[in-house]
Amino acid sequence: MMQFLTKLDGLLTHIKQVENETIDLTREAQLRFVQFIEKNNLHADDATIEAMQYQDIVSQQLSASIEAIESVQAYLQYFSKAFSEDDAIAMQSIQKMDDKLGNALEKAKAKHAAFSGRLGSNEENGIEFF
């Protein structure tokens, strides 16, 4: 069981690293677009500004995923410790972790839904931010 938890933690750590790298690349791409526009004295049209906002949405969604992963990892660490000390405590920890995972999933879905309804819509207001 401990080996499984260690592998699961390693996988989650890898996913966080990839998501952080993707956030960094998205920011770098956005910065380069802005520098290009400024350097060439161009005016960004609404479609270009919206595309840049999409990059911000990608970063926000990845950050929300990272938060959910970190929450799961915290409970995995707690569970690992409890499992090594007492099976009964470990079973209680599994139930608590199950509840927290359910909550984390609902939060992640809510954050995704907050943006996904606006993507691709033809509304004149464009993207709204909180």
Question: Hey, is 123 helix, strand or coil?
Answer: coil
pLDDT digits (tens, 9 = 90+) for 23-73: 999 999 999 999 999 999 999 899 988 988 998 899 999 999 999 999 999
- What's the rounded Cα separation, in Å, for the pair 64 and 69? 9
Question: What is the SS3 assignment for 43?
Answer: coil
Whether 19 and 62 have beta carbons less than 8 Å apart is answered as yes
3-state SS assignment for residue 130: coil
Which of 108, 78, 107, 106 lies closest to 94, judged by CA? 78
- The predicted pLDDT at position 16 comes to 95
C-alpha dihedral (86, 92, 94, 96), degrees to nearest 10: -140
| CA–CA distance, 20 with 98 (Å, rounded to integer) | 26
Give the start-to-end residue ranges of the domains of the chain.
Answer: 2-116
pTM of the model: 0.63
